[in-house]
Structure 1
């Protein structure tokens, strides 16, 4: 990732009241997250391929944190309860589907719990992104979310809307549709609430 790109993105985020940080690897980003969060604080985890491969939930649980990660639930009722509890945690850690160089953070959610926590509830939010998630413009970010991230996430969830085979969005009305909540975060009213960890590695959808 070019230095100018990183500096431009961090500046854009700062202008939107969002703190940006740069890391060479996801392991470095994880170490910083573990340092920032005390073992006495509760942590919500957004369902993310990136965070799963970082093994963040396991490390936090092993240390003694109360972690609310729906992917560790045993049944649907427990999933629902974990989603609700994650909305009131001290920290919420999540990936994102795309981010523009102008600082727009763009996500598509199925049930909406992940974007809900990003928007309001947890006291602190950390968004972890790989270099493959960065786009030049908001339009390109939305395109990426609809046509790259969403088909892959639908397949990962065991759903089969038309985009899985077509590899593009047709704004379907399929019962397997996972694209129910398209959210663009354009800024924050609390200056220290949201942090974006930009990582010089490709990971996730």
Structure 2
């Protein structure tokens, strides 16, 4: 799966790319890369849940801000704000394009906000199933595949769940209020893209 074209295209946008065989390899790399005294923000992600990375970081001594560990909506909101000012931020993503775009669709926007600005270092973990040929393919994927599946995971019932496609609904059940395309980084290598040779996440 190693792709020189993808590495070159993201590098030209100041985003570092590393390929991994398994999610376990990614987990080991993250634990090796992040110092124990660092604060870490976690973006809500099925991929990261499979890694159990929040627990591992907490157990070894990192201060971790993961909204899914909150006991109330008030606490969740507080954690989301705190994660914007961490040393490191780890998240999944909904799609990437081979020409170097990272595309996400978010409910409240805290995840994409942290990816764009705030944390000093950002790690984005993505499975090979989310690699798209073009930017338009990536946008289509986040609208018609990622958004419905994430809505279902969160317990929402927007029209796309039944229709299997985005209809730009105005219902309060939608989870796709923020469509964000990251075209590059001002700070070189602030963002690291870890691509896994496995089909993981939505």
Fold conserved (TM > 0.5)?
A: yes
Of 103, 120, 123, the match for 1:123: 120
The answer to whether residue 107 in structure 2 is matched with residue 110 in structure 1 is yes
Q: Which runs of 4+ in 1 moved over 3 A?
A: none
Residues 117-165 of structure 1, C-alpha deviation per residue, up to 9 Å, x if partnerless? 0000000000000000000000000000000000000011100000011
Deviation (angstroms), 1:8: 1.1
Aligned to 2:9: 12
Aligned to 1:147: 144
Aligned to 1:44: 41
CA distance in 1 between partners of 2:68 and 2:161 (Å): 22
Aligned to 1:134: 131
CA distance in 2 between partners of 1:62 and 1:48 (Å): 20
Aligned to 2:59: 62
CA distance in 2 between partners of 1:202 and 1:173 (Å): 31
Of 25, 31, 34, the match for 1:28: 25
When the two structures are superposed, what TM-score results if normalisation uses the length of structure 1?
Answer: 0.98
What is the alpha-carbon root mean square deviation over aligned residues? 0.6
Structure 1 alignment gaps of length 5 or more: none
Aligned to 2:91: 94
Q: How many residues align?
A: 202
CA distance in 1 between partners of 2:184 and 2:66 (Å): 26
Deviation (angstroms), 1:33: 0.5
The answer to whether residue 201 in structure 2 is matched with residue 204 in structure 1 is yes
